[in-house]
Amino acid sequence: MEENKVIDLDINVDGDTEYKEAGEVQIADDVIAVITEIATLEVDGVCAIAGAKNDIVQTIRGKKASKGIKIEVNADEVHAALAIIVKYGIKIQDTCLKVQEKVKNSIETMTGLNVQSVDVHVVGVDFSQTKPQEEH
């Protein structure tokens, strides 16, 4: 889990600014996983995030699984790995680059953490959107 410090700002009458620590902010890996999931699904060409089905542990804990997403946070650095299913007919390399950019920007903007890597693994292709070809 990542720890960031919250700073209290006191501005004196003379305009001087004093910084005091007020506490720490901790961002859970699950939060970063949800940010990653939302950002990934916003990219055109991504059909779904692959992963585990609901199991009894998730049901008991009452948590949504961050299926197909693995987040590692070390100091101020984030490493993300995700498995996706893409739509048939898209350029896979272009879509993966867009996913990497979108996930990196989303995590850095929302958490202030530095994203070191976003590994995208394409594990399937969805053919359900394709039109059946007519026979001549």
> The CATH number of the domain where 48 resides is what?
3.30.70.1350
Per the structure, the complete domain to which residue 55 belongs is given by 27-126
Please choose, from the candidates 5, 75, 2, 56, the residue with its C-alpha nearest in 3D space to the C-alpha of residue 33: 2
Residues of the chain with pLDDT under 70: 1-22, 52-66, 129-136
Residue 59 domain flag: yes
The number of beta carbons lying within 10 Å of the beta carbon of residue 123 is 13
Q: What is the pLDDT of residue 67?
A: 76
Residue 43 domain flag: yes
Q: What is the pLDDT of residue 76?
A: 84
Q: What is the pLDDT of residue 72?
A: 94
Q: What is the pLDDT of residue 53?
A: 53
Q: What is the pLDDT of residue 45?
A: 95
Q: What is the pLDDT of residue 69?
A: 94
Strand, helix or coil at 92? helix
Q: Which residues contact 81 (CB under 8 A, 6 or more apart)?
A: 69, 70, 118, 119, 121
Q: What is the pLDDT of residue 25?
A: 76
Please choose, from the candidates 133, 123, 132, the residue with its C-alpha nearest in 3D space to the C-alpha of residue 47: 123
Please choose, from the candidates 91, 96, 85, 87, the residue with its C-alpha nearest in 3D space to the C-alpha of residue 118: 96
Q: What is the pLDDT of residue 107?
A: 96
